Structure formats: C-alpha cells, structure tokens
Amino acid sequence: MLGIGEYAGITGLSVKALRHYDEKGVLVPAEVDERSSYRRYADAQVRVGVVIGALRSAGVPLPEVAAATRAGTAAEALQAHRERMLAEREQEDRAFEAAEVALRALAVPVEVAERTMPAQPYVGQVLTIALDEADGPGDDEANEILGALATRVHAAGLGPTGRFWTALRAGEPGSAELVCCWPTSAEAEGDLADLAAILPARTELVATWRPRDGEELPEGTLHPAIVALFDAAGDRGLRLDGVEVRQTVLGEGPEDVAVEVSLTVAG
C-alpha cells in the first residue's frame, strides 16, 4: 500500500488533485482511515494514476477521464479530445482571420459629406429579416428580388433610371426590413402600384467607402461606410433612432467598386 504522499510522488499527481479525484469518484483510494481520513492506494493503482495524469495534462475534461479509466479507453478519449481541440483551433483561426479582414476594412478612409437631392420616385420590395435568426436572407435573395423587379420596371417603360439601392429600416418587433429599390422615371402604376413610393427631396448625410488594396468584409460585419455614418452623425449630434439607411454600390467593375451609404438629415 502507498500513502497519499508517496503515491503522489510516484504518479506525478498532486495531493490536492488526488483528494479532488476521490471526491469526484475518478480515482478512489484503496483504503481511507476512518479516524484520520488518511488515504492509501494499492500498488495496482499506480498505472491508472499515471493514465489520469497523462489525460489531464492534455486537457481532457475530468468526466471524460473518469469514463475512459473505467472503460479502459484512454487512447480513444485522448484522440477524441485532440480532434475536438483541432476543430476549435481551426474555428479560432477563421475568426482571427475574419477579425483581421474586418479591421483592415475599417482602416480604409471613408468620405463623408452632405448633399441635397431632389425627389425620386421608385419601386421597392420588402425583404423581412428576423433579428434573432443567425441565418437570415442573404445577398443572393436580395439580388434575385432586384433582378425580377428590374425586369418589371423595364417592361412598364419606367427605367430603371439609375442604380439600385437597398434601404434598411425598422420592422415589426424582433425584425428589420431590407427594401430592394429601383429608381423610376415616374411613380409606378398598375401591377407595380403597391411597390411604388417617392423618396422626398432631402438633405442627405453620405458616406462613401472605396477599398484601396482589395479590402473585403467578412460576412456579418457592419459595413465601414455605415460605421463612418454613425461616427459623423454622432459628431453632428444627430439621433438615428428609426432612421432609414440607404446603401448602393458604385463603379463599373471590381477595380473601381465603392459602397455609398446615406441617410436623410433634413426633408
């Protein structure tokens, strides 16, 4: 029999750890003195102590260590833990890379200005976004709506008369609305009447983001132009509660692409 101190020295497990393992039922001593509660271990328990130490040093959680030592599946438990750790590291690496990409994009200077715009008739189709859902509608769905809407506008002889834009605004509680819009030459009628509206004459606060070295944005990151717009609104003392934010893409190709974001500051 080995006293707890001797057993600790042989197996490399601390006395504190051995007491904890006993309390958790992971490594129960062969004998415990009724008066002093002094623990003694059998010689045959040295092996299991060394196995437990090896698994714990690799970070295997204690419940898995207990199950593995009871079932004699220490190697399998270690391999499963390794695979889980490698998967987590890959996820961490992807998150790190995405954070680097986002910070590079945020470092690109954004042009912010005010401009006066005339009234603009348009047609817009609403895409509802549930705020508590991780996988909401994406670019593909918005592009599909814009493509179909452009075809209808063209068939009605109303244009489109310029670039499309999307507008983000508050929806019902727990949701937001992404409105996919095309400018038209006049207010739409007929089967487009339900989608027709007019963007009133207004003064806009506009932020324009132009990547310099191919900067991109990871999915789920707020666009730097919108961040700059909030910065500018804060500097001007503007409140943005419930304000519609409009976004469009400028440029004719990947080499001169830019993103423009605007909101109305005066009607």
User: Residues 111-157: pLDDT tens digits?
Assistant: 999 999 999 999 999 999 887 765 556 678 999 999 999 999 999 99
User: Where do the structural domains in the chain lie, given as residue ranges?
Assistant: 2-78, 110-266
On the question of pLDDT at 50 being above 80, the answer is yes
User: Quick check: 180 pLDDT over 60?
Assistant: yes
**Neighbouring-strand partners of residue 180:** 125, 166
The most confident of 147-151, 175-179, 214-218, by mean pLDDT: 147-151
Domain covering 2-78, topology: Multidrug-efflux Transporter Regulator; Chain: A; Domain 2 (1.10.1660)
Share of the chain above pLDDT 70, in %: 97
pTM confidence score = 0.75
Q: What does the H/E/C string look like for 96-130?
A: HHHHHHHHHHHHCCEEEEEEEECCEEEEEEEEEEE
CATH number for 110-266: choose from 3.40.50.2300, 3.90.1150.10, 3.30.465.10, 3.20.80.10: 3.20.80.10
Q: What average pLDDT score do residues 13-26 get?
A: 97
Q: What residues pair up with 127 in beta bridges, in sequence order?
A: 178
pLDDT on residue 86: 98
* Spacing of C-alpha 108 from chain mean position: 21
Check residue 251 and give its pLDDT.
84
* pLDDT value, residue 186: 97
Model confidence at 198: pLDDT above 90: yes
Average pLDDT, the chain: 93
252: pLDDT strictly greater than 90: no
For residue 208, what are the β-bridge partners? 111, 260
Higher per-residue pLDDT: 100 or 243: 100
The pLDDT of residue 183 is above 80: yes
Q: What is the mean pLDDT of residues 92-119?
A: 96
Burial (CB < 10 A; 0-12, 13-18, 19+), residue 227, is middle
Burial readout 160-195 (b: 16 or more C-beta within 10 A, e: otherwise): beeebbbbbeeeeeeeebbbbbbbbeeebeeebeeb
